[in-house]
Amino acid sequence: MEKMNTKRRIVLVPAPGQGHVTPMMQLGKLLDLKGFSITVVQGHFNQVSSSSQKFPGFQIVTIPESLQESEFERLGPIEFLLKLNKTSKASFKDCIGHLMVQHGNDIACIIYDEFMYFSEAAAKEFKLPSVVINTSSATNQACRTFLSKVNAEKFLANMEDPQAQDKVVENLHPLRYKELPVSDMGPVERVLDLCKDVVKERRAFAVIINTVSCLENSSLAWLDQELGIPVYPLGPLHITAPPPSSLREEDMSCIEWLNKQKPRSVIYISLGSVLSMKTKEVSEMALGLCDSNQPFLWVIRQGSEPLPEEVSKMVSEKGYIVKWAPQMEVLAHPAVGGFWSHCGWNSTLESVTEGVPMICRPFHGEQKLNAIYIESVWKIGIQIEGEVERGVVERAVKRLLVDEESASMRERALVLKEKVKASVRNGGSSYNALDEFVKYLEKVELSS
């Protein structure tokens, strides 16, 4: 078929979550700037098209047979992903078939979120090159690769043995077996099934990771060796390709509130786009925050359980609450001195990029990995373990913003910030990785 367009097209397949959509769309922006046309294929919920005005020129198409949000709520994340990958295969093939007709065989490559591995069947059928993007850390990717190879029965038996659990995982120092990200997302067997499927289905010629080599050097080296295909650390994508793509409306009034606060006095609190806390925990947290006497900006998302009235009154006197914040602007604001976070990877990268020390309150396995890096590897934060109780909250906020140790944490955070910012400048590691990736894409294109 004749070519209708001189620009080659890249098809992006994001997973339906804010933390996945944001880096994928940022990658789309970068590739758009490098001269590719972009098509985004989405499912039925957390749709990219809700923010399509931010991506002029992008084509956005929906796979008709993709699962609805109610299925996500009914099944939970692991079962949802396992099912989604079964049900979307045929429909995605049809979709690529239509795009091939529409764009005159002009698709250079399919880049899919690692959890959207149904994309491989279409890539194979239409002989298109595929690339995986991993929107979490390289360490998490290394753990998943490791988990895809374990014997499930033996692994489960080892989980009962405290000695085995305390052992450091071979070549993944400093991680111990008990820190591998298998907890809290569903039954461990099913998490292992998903890790195995992700790796088994993969035919991609490269992996992109939203990370920076100065943050995760050893995990990246391990992956390079283990995967046997090029690994491109292109992050942090939110600074290489602004503006970001929020799926929700940002409440900008908090910036005016921040403008009235003293430099580095405010603790910003957000648990990302999915998690919420139990009312008791929220109340203890609110009381601890008020006792700390530091001003705070708190994201309490729509649909979260309401605070008891007396707590709510106290909170609104001492702090500022929004349903959704412009997080990157907040973290870059001079009044912000600390970030209380669930340690999602995007939030972690955004905080590191602005040199903001963190209080880590991770919920899931992957977030726990990030917390280990924040507290013990980069040493730019503290982790709260066990019960969230008002005294613990007050002490943590003081340690992060007021006590002597806060100065050295901030200093390390600022050094890391400079390294990360340097990585995206001309000649930096992420800048070079992007250049190499684009060259590689052109080479693969020519040979396909």
Phi-psi region of 427 (alpha: psi -120 to 50; beta: other; left: phi over 0): left
Task: Cis check for the bond before 174: say yes or no (omega within 30 of 0).
Answer: yes
Pairing between β-strand 206-209 and β-strand 130-134 as defined by DSSP bridges: parallel
H or E element, residue 156 = helix 152-158
Q: Is 215 helix (H, G, I), strand (E, B) or coil?
A: coil
Residue closer to ligand UDP, measured from CB, 175 or 325: 325
184, 201, 92, 127: CA torsion to nearest 10 = 160
Query: ∠ CA 144-222-163 to the nearest 5 degrees?
Result: 60
Residue closer to ligand UDP, measured from CB, 359 or 441: 359
Residue closer to ligand UDP, measured from CB, 106 or 251: 251
- Smallest gap, in angstroms, from Cβ of residue 149 to ligand UDP? 26
- Smallest gap, in angstroms, from Cβ of residue 202 to ligand UDP? 22
- Smallest gap, in angstroms, from Cβ of residue 23 to ligand UDP? 8
- Smallest gap, in angstroms, from Cβ of residue 19 to ligand UDP? 2
Q: Is 70 helix (H, G, I), strand (E, B) or coil?
A: helix
- Smallest gap, in angstroms, from Cβ of residue 18 to ligand UDP? 5
- Smallest gap, in angstroms, from Cβ of residue 347 to ligand UDP? 3
Residue closer to ligand UDP, measured from CB, 130 or 139: 139
Residue closer to ligand UDP, measured from CB, 216 or 394: 216
Residue closer to ligand UDP, measured from CB, 134 or 270: 270
Distance of alpha carbon 121 from its chain centroid, rounded? 25
- Smallest gap, in angstroms, from Cβ of residue 150 to ligand UDP? 25
Residues that bind ligand UDP (CB under 6 A): 17-19, 22, 246, 270, 272-274, 299, 324-325, 327-328, 344-347, 350
Contacts 24+ apart (CB under 8 A), 371-376: 371/343, 372/174, 372/175, 372/179, 373/137, 373/139, 373/215, 373/216, 373/348, 374/343, 374/348, 376/174
Residue closer to ligand UDP, measured from CB, 272 or 381: 272
- Please state the length of the chain: 448
Residue closer to ligand UDP, measured from CB, 346 or 406: 346
The C-alpha atoms of residue 170 and residue 210 are separated, in whole angstroms, by: 24
CA diameter of the chain: 70
Nearest partner of 192 among 183, 182, 200, 202, judged by Cα: 182
- Smallest gap, in angstroms, from Cβ of residue 274 to ligand UDP? 5
